[in-house]
């Protein structure tokens, strides 16, 4: 298909598609002449993915490029694959020192075998929250971690069930994309859960928000 | 303090501070002359908050402005306050139709009393994931929701314990900022939990990632 058709199919403006081509987020089409190229179904799928990562998961273009590179160069073992997919999403380890309190909490969870570079992402998030005046106590960190352990079991169950995991590219797609695009689902659920819990604790008037 | 001192105190470049002043993310200092203004400790705190929201929580400047406006105009009741703080973070409700399947899952959780505009944020996140080829099944959505229910209880417990909740501005700060800046903590914990679960299921070699 022509670039104009790729645009019509995906709803992405031609100028944006050309930008993604220049930025290597989308592979070049098959060149037909100096000014024309042919695009295939794989371009439609990749373009939808890039838009989902940008709009839905709010990744920067550099982060999208890392996910796309991991998709194009998948590793061998399944555990290694998960690690590369995560690194592709999360970017380089931030240059922060992991506190003893953080290691202690991870240790009580049995998570102190996790790669130090993964732990620095957690520490950076904790440090940012603390700088904003929101210190996450070890007790609360533990509640959060246990909730995320349940989420991860469901994530990995889904990974084991998904037919695409059989081919490495499908597996990276599942892990990298599946995790990133469902982060906003978790965030939205957290808001709903807070709203429900807030109503349960504090609301006394008629329930104005109920579904009509 | 002078603008240069505010910059030194917070590590934010003077040009960035001037930009935030123009964009109303930071209140004007007390004007001393045509070219000089005086900044106080409140400016330091606000500037740190804006940086945490931009860098840590990755909000757009429009979203930061909504949080800042909610901080400057806090509501009365605690439940209403939570709602306004959430709306400040989440922005306007997306224009999507909530599916029957989503309402059915919320109903089994007892969450169908949540405001429809909150539910549309969840639906938009589910739709984005589906467009990226990651359909979240009702069973998995339920696991995610139950995990977030535990998170929300800890969030509201923290809210009840925090001394700043006594004054409305402190309460909005706690809810809006506390939720937004801890979203990345949850995301980082999800990655660690996946790494732990992946190692438990799939890794068979020596544990190379263990803490030195």
d(CA B126, CA B123): 5
For chain A, say whether B145 makes contact (Cβ under 8 Å).
Answer: yes
List chain A pLDDT tens, one digit each, 212 residues.
999 999 999 889 999 999 999 998 999 999 999 888 999 988 998 888 888 778 766 677 887 887 788 777 766 666 766 676 677 667 777 889 999 999 999 999 999 888 888 899 999 999 988 887 788 989 999 999 999 999 999 988 877 776 666 665 566 666 667 787 888 899 899 989 988 888 888 765 444 444 43
For chain A, say whether B103 makes contact (Cβ under 8 Å).
Answer: yes
Nearest by CB to A48, from B132, B140, B160: name it. B132
| Nearby residues of A54 by Cβ (< 8 Å), 6 or more positions away | A61, A64
> Per residue in B26-48, pLDDT tens?
999 999 998 889 999 889 988 88
Question: Considering only CA atoms, which of B113, B87, B77 is closest in space to residue B176?
Answer: B87
Tell me if A199 and B79 make a contact (CB, 8 A cut-off): yes
For chain B, say whether A11 makes contact (Cβ under 8 Å).
Answer: no
Tell me if A209 and B113 make a contact (CB, 8 A cut-off): yes
- Return the higher-pLDDT residue of B71 and A88: B71
d(CA B197, CA A78): 12
Q: Which residues of B touch A189 (CB under 8 A)?
A: 122, 141, 144-145, 148
For chain B, say whether A149 makes contact (Cβ under 8 Å).
Answer: yes
Tell me if A193 and B148 make a contact (CB, 8 A cut-off): yes
CA contacts within 13 A on the Cβ side of B58: 13
pLDDT score recorded for residue B111: 93
- The backbone torsions φ and ψ at residue A31, rounded to the nearest 5 degrees and listed phi first, read -75, 125
> Per residue in B91-147, pLDDT tens?
777 889 999 999 999 999 999 888 888 899 999 999 988 887 788 989 999 999 999
**Residue in B52, B63, B123, B193 to test binding to A, most A beta-carbons within 10 Å:** B193
pLDDT score recorded for residue B169: 58
Q: Which residues of B touch A126 (CB under 8 A)?
A: 185
Tell me if B194 and A56 make a contact (CB, 8 A cut-off): no
Nearest-CA distance A34 → chain B (Å) = 32
Identify the H or E element spanning A37: strand A37-38
Nearest-CA distance A37 → chain B (Å) = 25
pLDDT class of B164 with cuts at 50, 70, 90: low
pLDDT score recorded for residue A75: 63
pTM: 0.75
pLDDT class of B212 with cuts at 50, 70, 90: very low
pLDDT score recorded for residue B162: 67
pLDDT score recorded for residue A211: 42
pLDDT at residue B65 above 80? yes
Q: How many CB atoms lie within 10 A of CB B88?
A: 22
Nearest-CA distance A133 → chain B (Å) = 8
């Amino acid at each position: 298909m022509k670039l104009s058709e790729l645009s019509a199919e995906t709803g992405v403006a031609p100028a944006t598609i050309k930008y993604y081509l220049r930025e290597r987020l989308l592979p070049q089409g098959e060149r037909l002449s100096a000014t024309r190229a042919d695009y295939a179904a794989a371009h439609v799928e990749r373009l939808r993915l890039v838009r989902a990562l940008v709009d839905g998961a709010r990744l920067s273009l550099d982060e999208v490029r890392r996910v796309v590179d991991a998709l194009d160069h998948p590793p061998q073992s399944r555990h290694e694959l998960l690690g590369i997919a995560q690194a592709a999403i999360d970017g380089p380890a931030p240059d922060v020192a992991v506190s003893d309190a953080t290691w202690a909490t991870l240790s009580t969870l049995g998570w102190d075998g996790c790669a130090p570079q993964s732990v620095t992402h957690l520490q950076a998030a904790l440090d940012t929250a603390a700088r904003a005046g929101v210190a996450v106590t070890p007790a609360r960190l533990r509640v959060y971690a246990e909730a995320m352990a349940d989420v991860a079991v469901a994530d990995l169950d889904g990974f084991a069930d998904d037919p695409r995991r059989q081919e490495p590219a499908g597996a990276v797609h599942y892990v990298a994309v599946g995790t990133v695009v469902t982060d906003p689902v978790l965030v939205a659920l957290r808001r709903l859960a807070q709203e429900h819990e807030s109503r349960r604790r504090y609301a006394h008037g008629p329930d104005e928000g109920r579904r009509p």
